[in-house]
Amino acid sequence: MIKKIGRNDLCWCQSGRKYKACHMAFDEKLTQCKDKGYKIPSRKMIKNQEQLDGIRESGKVNIAVLDYVAEHIQVGMSTEEIDRMVYEKTLEYNGIPAPLNFEGYPKSVCTSINEEVCHGIPSKDIILKDGDIVNVDVSTIYKDYFSDSSRMFCLGKVSPEKQKLVDDTKKAIELGLSYVKPWHRIGEMGNAIYEFAREHGYSVVREVGGHGVGIEFHEEPFVSYCCPKESGVVMAPGMVFTIEPMINLGRSDIVMDDENGWTIYTEDGMPSAQWEVTVAVTEEGYEKLAY
């Protein structure tokens, strides 16, 4: 339920502007969407300009750290070395690695190799080999704002099947971005990614998806890529969330590592790929804040 605010009251978004000059027309559009039976975002999901600016700056640090990893990642390197690079580079930019100690996670980055779907924990004993595909998932806190993005890296001579999986997963991200449109439902984006993956012979992980981000590491909404296009929350300007489908070469079934309680694998041992972008919904479409 949207609380009623007087036209000349200060806007709920804390912009300091009068409601009529700030979010009144916005709320009227949301009411129209709700009247159609659509799920609408809570006010907590909508970032004001100051918050968007802060998330954007955090994203710049996140991108710079991933760029540094891209320049140095190589066969023979341990994933512990990647973790050290991310930690040191993030601190160099006056940021904080968001994963470190988050709900007990022990490292500064996630490094997921081949059949690891996500949340691979760096270790001095895990050495990158020729033919590996690896997802490096970097998340940053900068001046109290969060950003989150990941990239795939193909090391040495990668099999054609793995290379195509990596390339197609990135294409799925780009396709998903084209469906980020204000006042459309988020299910349109998620369903487009799902149908693209299915048409190319892949499966999509159902249990893990994207999420809101910016003020906290993980916020609402949950972003599914296995959903009807008529589903999900309305994408309203000011929303910030991640698009990060996990696409498998084999079946979609996953299993959790019982020992570390974090790493998720494909049940059939087939490779998985993931790219991640932090995106803001704008009046015109979208803005990539970290990729």
pLDDT digits (tens, 9 = 90+) for 136-153: 999 999 999 999 999 999
The confidence score (pLDDT) of residue 284 equals 95
The confidence score (pLDDT) of residue 4 equals 75
pTM, two decimal places: 0.95
The confidence score (pLDDT) of residue 167 equals 98
Please name which of 134, 138, 170, 151 lies closest in space to residue 62, comparing C-alpha atoms: 138
The confidence score (pLDDT) of residue 48 equals 94
The proportion of the chain whose per-residue pLDDT surpasses 70, expressed as a percent, equals 99
pLDDT for 64 beyond 80: yes
> Domains in the chain and their CATH numbers?
40-290 (3.90.230.10)
Q: Which residue has the tokens 């580079």?
A: 89
Report, as an integer, the average pLDDT of 190-196: 98
Q: What is the pLDDT of residues 16-47, one digit of tens each?
A: 999 999 999 999 999 999 999 999 999 999 99
Phi, psi of 272 (to 5 degrees): -130, 150
- Amino acid identity, position 113: I
Report, as an integer, the average pLDDT of 148-172: 98
The proportion of the chain whose per-residue pLDDT surpasses 90, expressed as a percent, equals 97
The confidence score (pLDDT) of residue 2 equals 53
The confidence score (pLDDT) of residue 3 equals 61
Report, as an integer, the average pLDDT of 151-161: 98
pLDDT for 1 beyond 60: no
Contact partners, residue 266, CB within 8 Å, separation at least 6: 115, 117, 248, 250, 251, 253, 254, 255, 272
Report, as an integer, the average pLDDT of 240-249: 98
Cα 28–Cα 30–Cα 31 angle in degrees, nearest 5: 65
